[in-house]
Amino acid sequence: MASNDLAAPMARLVDEFKRLPGVGAKSAQRLAFHLLGIEREKAESLASAIFEMRERIQLCTQCNNIAVDALCPICNDAQRDHGLICVLEQPNNIMVVERTRAYRGVYHILHGALSPLRSIGPEDLKIKSLLERMRDRPVREIILATSPTTEGQATSAYLSRLLKPLEVKVSRIGLGIPIGSELEFVDEATMSESIEGRREL
Amino acid sequence: MASNDLAAPMARLVDEFKRLPGVGAKSAQRLAFHLLGIEREKAESLASAIFEMRERIQLCTQCNNIAVDALCPICNDAQRDHGLICVLEQPNNIMVVERTRAYRGVYHILHGALSPLRSIGPEDLKIKSLLERMRDRPVREIILATSPTTEGQATSAYLSRLLKPLEVKVSRIGLGIPIGSELEFVDEATMSESIEGRREL
């Protein structure tokens, strides 16, 4: 080991941190030295939380949300409207919808969005399981709530074409100008979408 | 568990990440979901790197640098000048000096800086062990290389007063205008320091 290198176990930890998204070389070092400086049991608590999460977390067999049991708490909740499915890209998107307290339906998580650039096609998303659950239980409406990014829009368009022939109402979340923003600063794409999506008062 | 909460093992991991410096609620969630999305062995590799680091890393008995053995590679290197000690606040500061390839002395890590505000006094820093090693082995010069922050400056001033009576040359790293910067943008404190620290050509 060259004397100007970090001790091997420290260097390995810095490398592991560098692999995380948004963590650069300097942050990685800062995090590793932070874990050296705090009480050992606190550092090990992070490590064991990682092991425990990978050990215990699975995907809900119905909606592909993260779960500790076969069904996630939402799919397992008889009070929710199982005839209304909100389709999302990622499990953490669920919280954004739940926080509104306005939605009482269930979810379906795709675990991604279509992306020709990154070679992600329909078979890489949890689309087959969406069609299967529609066969198992009557579904009234499917709300496509993928992000209004290029990839999310493409995914929404693809699913719309796929689902419409199945005699289910298919809707897209409202796109437009966010509440609280000044019209002056709205970009062209959002403004067009906002005019197109206007509602009669 | 409320249905809009994360599954418990995921929530625990998000909480652990939030305790790290510079990691907010959103990054914590992003990191936790990243570790769910990648291969299980890659996620567990980060966890085991934390355990391994805390298991194997200790402080060098001489300079308090991080080490896997009783002496760090620098203190163990007979080619280094053991009569010249560079005093630093943190182990990762060593790399900043080593990268210059201009320093052939050894180090002493204080593991902090004096800070009345955070109740960090001389007894909280590795100062006693610096005095001890000066008794064990002759030391020609001590370079005080704490950061030129309020805390680092106070630490440097304290050590200077403490060490000078011990008949050892005590020096402070050069403070002034960094190489490559425009004089126009130099702050007052740096400019004063730069004039005071001028060198005859």
Name the amino acid, one letter, at A24.
Answer: G
Token match 């004063």: residue?
B192
Confidence of residue B2 (pLDDT cuts 50, 70, 90): very low
Residue B157, token pair as written in the block: 């001033």
Spatial separation of the C-alpha atoms in residues A71 and B64, rounded to whole Å: 51
Which tens digits make up the pLDDT trace of A124-178?
Answer: 999 999 999 999 999 999 999 999 999 999 999 999 999 999 989 999 999 998 9
Supply the DSSP string of A130-151, one letter for each residue. HHHHHHHS---EEEE---SSHH
Check A53 against B30: CB less than 8 A apart: no
Counting residues of chain B whose pLDDT is more than 90, the rounded percentage is 75
Residues of B in contact with A90 (CB under 8 A): 33
Residue A68 CA: distances (Å) to CA of A57, A112, B8: 5, 21, 8
Structure letter (DSSP) for residue A101:
T
Residues of B in contact with A35 (CB under 8 A): 50, 53-54
Average per-residue pLDDT for chain B: 92
Domains of chain A: 8-56 (1.10.8.420), 77-174+189-196 (3.40.1360.10)
Rg of chain A in Å (alpha carbons): 22
Structure letter (DSSP) for residue B58:
E
Q: How far is B131 from chain A (nearest CA, A)?
A: 23
CB A3 within 8 A of CB B77: yes
List of E strands, chain B: 58-59, 66-67, 81-88, 105-109, 141-144, 169-172
Of the candidates A30, A4, A154, A94, the residue with the CA atom closest to the CA atom of residue B73: A4
CB atoms inside a 10 Å sphere around CB A127: 20
Greater confidence (A186 vs A41) lies with: A41
Q: How far is B39 from chain A (nearest CA, A)?
A: 10
pLDDT, residue B1, reads 35
CB B9 within 8 A of CB A68: yes
CB atoms inside a 10 Å sphere around CB A111: 15
Mean pLDDT value across residues B64-88: 95
Which tens digits make up the pLDDT trace of B27-65?
Answer: 999 999 999 989 999 999 999 999 999 999 999 999 999
Q: Return the H-helix or E-strand segment holding B189.
A: helix B188-196
A5: pLDDT strictly greater than 90: no
Which tens digits make up the pLDDT trace of A176-191?
Answer: 989 888 888 888 888 8
Spatial separation of the C-alpha atoms in residues A64 and A89, rounded to whole Å: 10
Which tens digits make up the pLDDT trace of A97-135?
Answer: 998 888 999 999 999 999 999 999 999 999 999 999 999
Which residue of chain A comes nearest to B96, CA vs CA?
A4
Task: Give me the interface pTM, i.e. the ipTM.
Answer: 0.76
| Entry pTM | 0.76
Of the candidates B183, B58, B80, B32, the residue with the CA atom closest to the CA atom of residue A36: B58
Residues of B in contact with A40 (CB under 8 A): 54
Which residue of chain A comes nearest to B5, CA vs CA?
A95
Residue B158 CA: distances (Å) to CA of A14, B11, B161: 33, 45, 5
Which residue of chain B comes nearest to A14, CA vs CA?
B49
Spatial separation of the C-alpha atoms in residues B155 and B149, rounded to whole Å: 10
Check B57 against A9: CB less than 8 A apart: yes
Residue B105, token pair as written in the block: 């002395």
Residues of B in contact with A42 (CB under 8 A): 19
Q: How far is B129 from chain A (nearest CA, A)?
A: 19
